[in-house]
Amino acid sequence: MFIDANLLLSNEQDIGAGGGTQVSTNTIDLGVAKSLWHGRQLYVVIVVDESFATSTSINFQVVTDTVAALSSPTVQVETGAVVIASLTAGRVPIVIPIGSVLDTRERYLGMQYTEAGSASTAGKVTAFVAVDPA
């Protein structure tokens, strides 16, 4: 699968170290990109690059905000709690359909990772937007 650098939200982002809630290092400016998909279904694809350790679960959330820093994001779609034991490197990617998110009035699209339980000591993900998640 090819990944467009302009649609990359997290690139081997270390969300396991430090715990709590983190946002993606990159955002997509929907003001610029809004017409690119021409009505096709889009997906956020999350690949686990490094296995997670220690905490109980991670909630993967597709968010939007009025600012690129995602300082006060609105959760648009989420996976719910994904158990840490299932977040191992090389597992099948997590795929989130994001069609409804694209109608938001907020300009920037990104990811938010919310950890539950004790702080993780490891865990990296790559997340990106794709037309075809396969």
- For the chain, which domains are there? 5-130 (2.60.120.1110)
In three-state secondary structure terms, 10 is strand
Q: How far is CA 4 from the centre of its chain?
A: 15
Please, where are the H alpha helices in the chain? 30-33
Give the pLDDT score at 33.
66
Give the pLDDT score at 99.
77
Q: H-helix or E-strand containing 55?
A: none
Give the pLDDT score at 90.
92
Rounded distance between C-alpha atoms, residue 28 and residue 34, angstroms: 10
* Short-list 92, 22, 17, CA closest to 52: 17
Give mean pLDDT in consecutive 10-residue pieces for the chain, a chain of 134 residues.
82 83 93 69 93 86 95 94 92 90 83 84 91 79
Give the pLDDT score at 46.
97
Rounded distance between C-alpha atoms, residue 72 and residue 56, angstroms: 25
Give the pLDDT score at 124.
93
Give the pLDDT score at 37.
64
